Amino acid sequence: MFLPPQPIPACVIALAIVTASTDLTCRRIPNRIIAIGLAAALIVQIRLNGPLAGSADWLMGALTGFAVLLPFYLLRGMAAGDVKLLLTIGAWVGPAMTVRIALATFIAGGIWSLCVTLRRRRARQLLVNLWCIVSSMWTPGRQIAGIPQYQQIESVGSLPYGVAIAAGTLGVLFASAA
């Protein structure tokens, strides 16, 4: 793996830390931070790679970050701010590193979610939810014990997923530097 040229790593680390802290404290990622991050990423990408290549890297990275998390947003598994955050990080680091960051984020977020679920003693409901989701793929509209599936699914809690995105981002950046 390779580390992107400066100032990209420093800017992405700052973006990840700021958004994780606001997500932890306010449970939201402000659009102002996203807008500033996107504009700064475009300027830096153009400065480093030229107008055409820089704009293309910026756009492809942003689209990759958007595409990776959009399905989870559409399934109501995460908030729009999380999607916009990975979109912004993707604009900084490009599509290849965005995919690696997304995978690291899924691992960090999954482990964190599992720990929180176990701590809250909601593992049984989590298994019911997973069963409903998986079984609905094989037989849409099927009922379990006469109860529609959407009535059996109950949230086991939410997490400020910007923290998981920050953990995945920092992990990939630091692994790339090693």
Please report, as a single letter, which amino acid is at residue 84. K
The percentage of the chain sitting over the pLDDT mark of 90, rounded to a whole number, equals 65
The pLDDT of residue 129 is: 74
Residue pair 16/166 in contact by the 8 Å Cβ criterion: yes
- Does the structure show a pLDDT above 90 at 23? yes
- Does the structure show a pLDDT above 90 at 25? yes
Quick: pLDDT tens for 63-86. Answer: 999 999 999 899 778 899 999 999
DSSP label at residue 114 = H
What CA–CA distance (Å, rounded) separates 142 from 125?
A: 19
Q: Which residue has the higher pLDDT, 136 or 56?
A: 56
Helix and strand totals (H; E) in the chain: 8, 2
The pLDDT of residue 79 is: 93
Q: Quote the tokens at residue 100.
A: 């690696």
Quick: pLDDT tens for 34-53. Answer: 999 999 999 999 999 999 99
The pLDDT of residue 102 is: 98
The radius of gyration of the chain's CA atoms, rounded to the nearest angstrom, is 18
